[in-house]
């Protein structure tokens, strides 16, 4: 059962990393896009990245926490704890750096009811960001947030797999 828990945790964390890394790897190409092309491209992420990435990230946090609680050995415990902290910081980056821009950009987009709740775009006149901000500044912040998240996810996966390798050695 413990091996299943390890494998599941690795799969979830690797899936979360894959989503963030995909965004980071798109950066050079997306920086060449004009405003209109960029916004058309941005809409392809919903709902796939939102649902798939969200499930992987939340599942990875829960699985890493459970793995940490059932781990044996102090080094292993702290490696898994480090992986968990990296996943939690990844969430903070999303909610404080990425999500306000998502909400701002999606205000004029027709969304499903669940998407409206997630992005909190329905029924509010206030915007999380100034409407006069340059779209390139928002783009750069959104793109940078995903590079940071990819780095955190990669760190989490490295710490997690190191903890598992220590057990096997």
- Provide the 8-state DSSP code for 107: T
Contact (CB, 8 A) for 27 and 139: no
pLDDT per 10-residue tile (average), the chain, 169 residues: 93 95 93 90 73 87 97 95 98 94 76 62 50 79 96 98 85
Contacts of 164 (CB under 8 A, 6+ apart): 6, 10
What's the per-residue H, E or C state across 14-48?
HHHHHHHHHHHHHHHHHCCCCHHHHHHHHHHHCCH
For the chain, helix (H) and strand (E) counts, in that order, are 8, 0
* Residue located via tokens 């963030």: 20
Q: Which tokens is 161 given?
A: 């797999």
CA 166, chain centre distance (Å): 27
In angstroms, the CA 103 to CA 42 distance is: 12
This model's pTM is above 0.95: no
Q: Which tokens is 54 given?
A: 């969200």
Contacts of 129 (CB under 8 A, 6+ apart): 100, 101, 104, 138
What does the pLDDT read at residue 2? 87
What does the pLDDT read at residue 48? 67
- Provide the 8-state DSSP code for 125: -
């Amino acid at each position: 059962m413990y091996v299943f828990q390890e494998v599941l945790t690795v799969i979830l964390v690797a899936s979360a990393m894959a989503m963030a890394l995909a965004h980071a790897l798109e950066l050079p190409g997306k920086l060449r896009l004009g405003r209109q092309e960029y916004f058309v491209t941005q809409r392809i992420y919903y709902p796939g990245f939102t649902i798939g990435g969200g499930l992987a990230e939340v599942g990875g946090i829960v699985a890493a926490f459970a793995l940490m609680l059932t781990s044996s050995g102090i080094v292993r415990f702290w490696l898994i704890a480090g992986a968990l902290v990296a996943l939690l910081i990844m969430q903070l980056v999303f909610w404080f750096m990425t999500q306000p821009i998502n909400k701002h950009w999606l205000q004029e987009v027709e969304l499903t009811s669940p998407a409206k709740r997630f992005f909190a775009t329905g029924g509010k006149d206030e915007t999380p960001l100034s409407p006069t901000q340059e779209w390139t500044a928002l783009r750069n912040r959104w793109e940078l947030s995903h590079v940071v998240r990819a780095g955190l996810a990669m760190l989490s996966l490295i710490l997690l797999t190191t903890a598992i390798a220590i057990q096997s050695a």
